[in-house]
A and B are shown apart, each in its own frame.
Chain A
Amino acid sequence: MTVSPQPASVRTLDTEPDTEPVLNKGGQGSELVGRSPGQLMWRRFKRDRTGMVSAVVVLMFFVVGLLAPVISWLYGKDPYTLYGQESLDLLDDFSFPTGKFGGMSGEHWFGIEPGLGRDIFIQLVYGIRNSLLIGLAVTAATVVTGILVGVTAGYMGGKTDYWLGRLIDFLLAFPSTLFFVAFMPVVVALFVSPEDETPTYVRVLALFLVLWFLGWMGLARLMRGETLSLREREFIEAAKVSGAPPWRIIRKELLPNLVTPILVQSTYMLPAAVTAEAGLSFLGVGLLEPTPDWGRMFALAGKVYENDPTYMFFPGVAMVIFVVCFNLLGDSLRDAFDPKAGR
């Protein structure tokens, strides 16, 4: 490979910025500037405007969730105080907000909850916090389980693969929503006797367990398929020929190639977990009063939407934005991670 000497200025960065490092063939002995995979990914991601906007929005949801107590302090309200009961002019005789648009005002930005009269804005902030934390925990657990089971099945093959596959089939055959609804009380009863009052953390734990139990199979199947196809690739054989132990092959050769599907799948799974949690609360088997919860806001909004449609608006719009942005972020991440998806 002789490279004909050419002026350094011939090649510019504009043509192919991320695959063509700065070349300096002028003979000054300067090195090619190599870029690490992370840098390349970041460069590709930065150019994707949709991805950046989605990332910022998603990040904002997380910031809002994490800083909920701070927001509450700055805002001067908390999610438990019944403002409608304290001040009599906020709710009318039928317990609906007196003001226009669900009682929106400088004091209560998103209005007042019909019935109990709590502040909707801080309810939503805390609802996002709770749903997001549970969703995050569920996603982390399902992703780890999915990777473990899928890669094990794909890499070991044979009997292991067969039986893990049957287990996945079995669990996938469960009607999941029905299972969630039916098993929430059962799981709660495992920890607390039905006569006692259930602490909130037990309900959270039960939600987590139920969602995790039926959440990991999709990713596991995906991982198994990907591993199966990667396992036969020659670079895996090359690693074996140089004596690499199986753990190293999985860690260094397989997993880096699985990052894209894992990441993309997780960014689809997180909003799904959040909506599933919200759905269970909506159905009345998730978080109970008075714990603020995103899904339960929909449940109440559904009951009162004829008289107070504004109440549905903010939780609904927040949920739509959250799910859409997360999915767009997933797509952008997939593009950024794939070096060959040059656009």
Chain B
Amino acid sequence: MSNDTTTATADAGTPLRDAVPGTALLEVEGLTKHFPIYGGFPVKRRVGAVQAVDGIDLAVHEGESFGLVGESGCGKSTTGRLLTRLLEPTGGRITYNGQDITHAGRKQLAPIRSEIQMIFQDPYSSLNPRQTVGSIIGGPMEINGMNPPGGREMRVRELLETVGLNPEHYNRFPHEFSGGQRQRIGVARALALEPKLIVADEPVSALDVSIQAQVVNLLQNLQRELGIAFLFIAHDLAVVRHFSQRVAVMYLGKIVEVGDRDSIYNRPRHPYTHALLSAVPEATVTAARDGEGRERIRLAGDVPSPINPPSGCRFRTRCWKAQDRCAKEEPPLIRLGGNREGHLTACHFPEEPTTAAREEDVILDPALLAAEKGTGAGSAGPVGKVDR
């Protein structure tokens, strides 16, 4: 494994490669998933819905890596499961290679199944403990009736080698492997069907940091060498920056900003993206001096409940720029003036396209503000400013 692992600055010199011109492999329009909530006595009826995913549009092009980031509970994983059709969408359209698969049944999906595969978050529950590595990886081939030259066992051994495992581990059981090795088995299983798109649902978040780097580099090599498109779901911005050419930021079931890597990480416009980026810890020595050179934004509270999301812009309850208009009008996801092509932002009052330090830090948490300002913080308003 090489040393160039996930540092936040790894991609500084490669902005041009970011723009992937390929044709759209997977297109999503207005994708919605509402989980109904039942309640009441004696007759249970529908009393509401968790609006996990509420109308998102995205497109994954051939051979590109598309990152999907956001806080816990913002609907990233639900999106991944909708795209692999593990969940039935409530609304919207999913098109794969021009074919509408929004409500396709198991039989209709059969030919596409081999082309969209998934890597799961938890390497401990994603492998059947009763099956050998050989049958875990060979199973999908069996289901899809694939008979590679040299036999399935041969192919499985090849795959094990591809993902950096010993092919002689063919007959071993998942419990004999470490978390990182298990995740590699999961990757090999996804590769077994020679997919064109892999939905990776937080593939490294359950792993050790040193192992994370190995697995991310493995995925990156696969993406480059086999030309597989990835939908990479993660909450670790540094990992996504390392891995994805295009990035979408999700908040409470909606995409608030999408664009190429450089735009999102260096010229973000949406306040939420700013807040997320300012929360990434920096590993360099200069940055150790309390975020010098970078803006600092500290949001208060949690993501609002997706059962009853805020009207208008969903981020307005935690946004320091929110005004009346934000509550009334939902901002459309559009290309703002000064943005690159493909860089879309859903905000009425976008921020400046820079992540450089502001004159004042934005701190929305009253308690934290009081701590930062010392004794005189009692009279601070809802949005506090701390002078630098």
Contacts and interface: CB of A to CB of B under 8 A. Distances in A.
B84 interface: yes
A141 to B, nearest CB: 26
Contacts of A31: 168
A238 interface: yes
Contact of A1 (B109, B122, B181): B181
Interface stretch (B138-146, B289-297, B315-323, B359-367): B138-146
A327 B171 CA distance: 32
A253 to B, nearest CB: 6
B165 interface: yes
A7 B358 CA distance: 61
A339 B118 contact: no
Interface in B23-56: none
Sorting the interface of chain B by its residue count into under 10, 10 to 19, 20 to 34 or 35 or more gives: 35 or more
A340 B129 CA distance: 10
A172 to B, nearest CB: 23
Interface string B158-177: 00000011101111110110
Contact of A242 (B122, B125, B143): B143
A3 interface: yes
Sorting the interface of chain A by its residue count into under 10, 10 to 19, 20 to 34 or 35 or more gives: 20 to 34
B126 A32 contact: no
A234 B120 contact: yes
B128 interface: yes
Contacts of A253: 128
Interface string B112-144: 011011101110011111111000100110011
A245 B130 CA distance: 19
A235 B126 contact: yes
Most buried by B among A34, A245, A248, A253: A34
A242 B171 contact: no
A46 interface: no
A225 interface: no
Contact of B130 (A19, A35, A257): A257
B33 to A, nearest CB: 16
B128 A256 contact: yes
Interface string A233-258: 11101111111110010001100110
A32 B166 contact: yes
A21 interface: yes
Contacts of A34: 132, 168, 170-172
B131 A19 contact: no
Interface in A140-184: none
Contacts of A244: 139, 143
Nearest to A236: B128
A32 B171 contact: yes
A238 B176 contact: no
Given A1-B164, A32-B166, A237-B86, A243 B126 contact: no
Nearest to B144: A243
A243 B143 contact: yes
Interface string A319-343: 0000000000000000000011000
B171 A238 contact: no
B106 interface: yes
A37 interface: yes
Contacts of B126: 233-235, 237-238
A36 interface: yes
Nearest to B133: A34
A241 B118 contact: yes
A248 B139 CA distance: 10
A242 B144 contact: yes
Nearest to B110: A243
Contacts of B132: 34, 37
B166 A3 contact: yes
B121 A340 contact: no
Given A238-B189, A243-B113, A339-B173, A233 B125 contact: yes
A244 B120 CA distance: 17
A237 B120 contact: yes
B239 interface: no
B200 interface: no
B228 interface: no
A155 B345 CA distance: 42
B161 to A, nearest CB: 10
B193 interface: yes
10 contacts: A1-B165, A1-B181, A19-B175, A21-B172, A37-B173, A235-B125, A242-B144, A253-B128, A257-B130, A339-B173
Interface of B: 81, 84, 86, 106, 109-110, 113-114, 116-118, 120-122, 125-132, 136, 139-140, 143-144, 164-166, 168-173, 175-176, 181, 184, 186, 189, 193
Nearest 9 pairs between A and B by C-beta? A34-B171, A243-B113, A242-B140, A32-B168, A256-B130, A234-B126, A234-B120, A235-B128, A233-B125
Given A40-B173, A233-B126, A234-B125, 11 more contacts: A3-B166, A19-B175, A19-B176, A35-B171, A235-B136, A241-B116, A243-B114, A243-B140, A243-B143, A248-B143, A256-B131
